[in-house]
C-alpha cells in the first residue's frame, strides 16, 4: 500500500513533533517512491519527500527533497547554527518509469560531514551547494512530515518511510532494497510508516480524510493526512 500525492496542491502526512526523529544525530532515511513527475521545484519552494519542517521560527531542521536543483535529482538540507548545509545529486537519478528505493545517511555531529545518497542500492555522488557551519539544529519543535511543498508539491506515491538513529551500511541498504518493504534491518529503527492505514479499507483509491490516519509502527505516532492525498491498495509495493 502507499499514499499518493497528486502534485496539484500541498498534500502531506503530519506526524507532529517526534522525539525519536529529532534526537537522531546520526540518521538514515529510507523510503520507496514512484514518481509521476520529476520536474524540478521552483525556488524558494521545494518538493519534500519528508523532513523535520516548520519549527516555531518557521525554519526546517532538515529536509529530504526531490527536484531540488534539476529534474530528477535528490537534495538534502540541514540547518546549523552558523549556516545551513545543502547538497544535491546529479540530474535524473530518479525518473517516472519505475519505483525507486532512496536512502540518505548523514552524521550531523560535524559540519564537515557530507550526506551519502543511494538510489536502488547505487551510491550517487553529491555536490555541496552550501557549506554548513556551527552546530546542528535538531528541531525539537519541528513537525515531522511526509510529503509537503505548498507551491511545488510531490507528484507520485510514497511508501515504507523509515528513520534510523545510525548510519546504515551499503550492505544494509541492499538488504532493505531486496526485502521490498518487509520487516528487515530493524536495528536502530526509530520511525517506520509503511503507509498502511489504521483502517486498511480506506486504502482503496479514495482520498484520505484527516480521520483516516497512518501509523508509525515503532513509536506509535499517528500521521494525519492533510490536503486529501489518496490511499492506494496493492498498486505499488516497491517492485
Provide the percentage of residues in the chain whose pLDDT is more than 90: 63
Residue 231 neighbours by CB under 8 Å, 6+ apart: 1, 3, 4, 197, 202, 203, 204, 205, 206, 207, 208, 212
For residue 95, report the phi and psi dihedrals to the nearest 5 degrees: -145, -170
Residue 18 domain-assigned (yes or no): yes
In degrees, to the nearest 5, what angle opens at C-alpha 150 toward C-alphas 149 and 152?
Answer: 65
Residue 101 belongs to domain spanning = 2-232
pLDDT tens-digit readout, 132-155 = 999 998 877 788 999 976 677 899
Residue 155 domain-assigned (yes or no): yes
Residue 95 domain-assigned (yes or no): yes
Residue 58 domain-assigned (yes or no): yes
The alpha-carbon radius of gyration of the chain (Å, integer) is 16
Residues 47 and 67: beta-carbon distance below 8 Å: yes
Return the higher-pLDDT residue of 114 and 214: 114
pLDDT tens-digit readout, 64-93 = 999 999 999 999 999 999 999 999 999 999
Residue 167 domain-assigned (yes or no): yes
pLDDT tens-digit readout, 78-133 = 999 999 999 999 999 999 999 999 999 999 999 999 999 999 999 999 999 999 99
Spatial distance between the Cα atoms of 220 and 63, rounded to a whole number of angstroms: 22
- Return the pLDDT at 198: 52
Average pLDDT of the chain is: 88
Residue 154 domain-assigned (yes or no): yes
As a whole number, mean pLDDT of residues 182-202 equals 78
Whole-model pTM?
Answer: 0.94
Spatial distance between the Cα atoms of 190 and 164, rounded to a whole number of angstroms: 5
Residue 239 domain-assigned (yes or no): no
Residue 189 domain-assigned (yes or no): yes
Confidence tier at 58 by pLDDT (50, 70, 90): low
**CA 203, 222, 119, 125 torsion-angle sign:** positive
CATH code of the domain in which 100 resides = 2.60.120.200
Amino acid at each position: 500500500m502507499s499514499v499518493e500525492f497528486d502534485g496539484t496542491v500541498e498534500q502531506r502526512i503530519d506526524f507532529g513533533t517526534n522525539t525519536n526523529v529529532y534526537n537522531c544525530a546520526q540518521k538514515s532515511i529510507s523510503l520507496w517512491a514512484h514518481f509521476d513527475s520529476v520536474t524540478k521545484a521552483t525556488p524558494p519552494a521545494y518538493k519534500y519527500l519528508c523532513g523535520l519542517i516548520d519549527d516555531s521560527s518557521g525554519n526546517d531542521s532538515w529536509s529530504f527533497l526531490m527536484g531540488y536543483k534539476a529534474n530528477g535529482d535528490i537534495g538534502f538540507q540541514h540547518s546549523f547554527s552558523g549556516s545551513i548545509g545543502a547538497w544535491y545529486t546529479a540530474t535524473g537519478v530518479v525518473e517516472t518509469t519505475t519505483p525507486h528505493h532512496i536512502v540518505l545517511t548523514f552524521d550531523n555531529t560535524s559540519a564537515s560531514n557530507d550526506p551519502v545518497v543511494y538510489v536502488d542500492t547505487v551510491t550517487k555522488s553529491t555536490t555541496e551547494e552550501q557549506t554548513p557551519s556551527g552546530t546542528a539544529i535538531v528541531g525539537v519543535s519541528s513537525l515531522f512530515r511526509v510529503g509537503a511543498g505548498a507551491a511545488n508539491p510531490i507528484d507520485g506515491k510514497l511508501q515504507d518511510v523509515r528513520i534510523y538513529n545510525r548510519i546504515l551500511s551499503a550492505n544494509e541498504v541492499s538488504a532493505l532494497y531486496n526485502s521490498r518493504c518487509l520487516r528487515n534491518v530493524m536495528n536502530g529503527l526509530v520511525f517506520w510508516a509503511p503507509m498502511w492505514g489504521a483502517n486498511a479499507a480506506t486504502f482503496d483509491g479514495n482520498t484520505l480524510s484527516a480521520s483516516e490516519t497512518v501509523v508509525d509502527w515503532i513509536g506509535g505516532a499517528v500521521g494525519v493526512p492533510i490536503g486529501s492525498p489518496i490511499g492506494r491498495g496493492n498498486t505499488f509495493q516497491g517492485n
